[in-house]
Amino acid sequence: MRGFQDRAEVADVLAMLSSRVRRLTAEMVGISGAAQRVLADDVTAGVSVPNFDRAAMDGYALIGSETFGAGPYNPLNFTISGSAFPGRPFSGKVQSGQAVRIMTGAPMPEGADAVIQVEAADEVNGLLCVSEPVPPGRHVGRRGEDILPGTIVLHRDRVLRPQDLGVLASIGVPEISVIRRPRIDILVTGDELLPCGSRPQGYQIVDSNSVMLAALVQRDGGVTHCTSLIPDKRETVEAAMKTLDADILLISGGSSVGQEDHAPRVLAQLGELAVHGVALRPASPAGVGFLGNRPVFLLPGNPVSCLCAYDLFAGPAIRRSAGRSMDLPYRSRLVDLNRKITSAVGRVDYVRVAIHQDLAEPLATSGASILTSTTRAEGFVLVPRDSEGYAAGEKVRVFLYDW
């Protein structure tokens, strides 16, 4: 048993990850499966959207200038010569004094340049009675008014939203180049652990970190490749590391300096233990290393420490690999404190807070094993290393768990 001789600064760990973790290569996927993926290249339209002039209202297509002078006391009559529907255009040409019934989205007939709304005209015995003027171009969607050929519709590095997929579909793109999602192996160690889904019994507890980490990986653009629960035995930990077949490895538990904390020593033996021990509360036993060029994150077994170390270190690396920003993915807001937060200079503090009536209240429970503190909290405050905390009434930035 031995303590940490020194602890790395949070900022230094992040700088190291920024310099050593690279985004993965691109792959082609169909647009129906591209939601939340990251674009690898700009997307340029090769067509116009829409690719024809179309009616923007239900009504009648006609020559707009011929309605000038129409009014309640001077109605003008037009002969109705046919109908136009979406996908079924009027086959003829609109002549002077003619009108065509038209539905929203239908192609504008040749010769017509305006649409008068249904409400603004009366149809009687095959004649259209117009009592108000409609200028040329009114209620007409012009070819290319949404997208013109050669337009960059989506830029690289964009996380694709549902409406983005709609735009891709509208320009006829069947598949798209996106950054490959990093595959993540999750290794959970502990003789005291039961598999997720079990009931606690005796002196054993149920593994909760694996499901939490898998959800965080999904949020950050990765995909869980394999999850394993193994005992605290050096040879088992070593065998698991040697069979790593993912882009990034997360190890929960066994990250500190106790007799059963094998992961740091095995990682140093098989690869590189770049960081072990961080000036951070509550995740100070966290570590970072590499097996070849594959990052390995040693996350404390205590659930809150595991969440904290993931969010500050593993999460940014996974997002970087997936082509996303390394910044925290949480929304944040400035809130007044109703009670002081005490910290110590020289470390970053991860403080869970509840928000009541627009006031942030630090939770009294600070234990790293009390996971419900994160479900009772609306979010967390990061106290920087050069601060002794915040006074009551001071504004703090709260990162909101509800992402």
Residue spans per domain, the chain? 10-24+181-321, 26-48+154-179, 54-141, 332-400
Which residues 6+ apart lie within 8 Å of 358 measured at CB? 335, 336
Q: Is the pLDDT of residue 173 over 70?
A: yes
DSSP one-letter code for 30: E
Under CATH, domain 54-141 is a member of which superfamily? Molybdopterin biosynthesis moea protein, domain 3. (2.170.190.11)
Local structure of residue 147 (DSSP, 8 states): B
Angstrom distance (rounded) from CA 107 to CA 218: 44
- pLDDT tens-digit map of 236-249: 999 989 988 899 99
pLDDT exceeds cutoff 50 at 62: yes
For the segment 125-141, the average pLDDT, to the nearest whole number, is: 94
Q: Given a cut of 70, is residue 172 above it in pLDDT? A: yes
Contact call for residues 55 and 102 (beta carbons, < 8 A): yes
Residues 299 and 288: their CA atoms lie apart, in Å, by 9
Q: How many CB atoms lie within 10 A of CB 84?
A: 24
CA distance 371 to 385: 24
pLDDT single digits (tens) 255-307: 877 777 889 999 999 999 999 999 999 999 999 999 999 999 999 989 999 99
Instruction: Give the CATH class of 10-24+181-321.
Output: alpha beta
Rounded to 5°, angle at Cα 9 from 310 and 3:
85
For residue 4, what pLDDT is reported? 63
Asked whether residue 384 carries a pLDDT value surpassing 90, the answer given is yes
Digit-coded pLDDT (tens) for 303-340: 999 999 999 999 999 999 999 999 999 999 999 999 99
Per-residue confidence band for 191, with pLDDT thresholds at 50, 70 and 90: confident
Domain spanning 332-400, CATH class: mainly beta
Structure tokens at 153: 């519709």
Q: What percent of the chain has pLDDT over 90?
A: 81
Contacts of 372 (CB under 8 A, 6+ apart): none
In angstroms, the CA 234 to CA 256 distance is: 14
Of 293 and 195, more confident: 293
DSSP letter for 69, please: T
> What fold, for 26-48+154-179?
Molybdopterin biosynthesis moea protein, domain 2 (3.90.105)
Distance CA 133, CA 48 (A): 30
- At 403 the pLDDT is 67
> Per-residue pLDDT averaged across 41-68, rounded?
96
**Looking at residue 2, what is its pLDDT?**
53
pTM: 0.87
Q: How many residues does the chain have?
A: 403
| Continuous H helices in 126-199 | 162-170
The whole-chain average pLDDT of the chain stands at 93
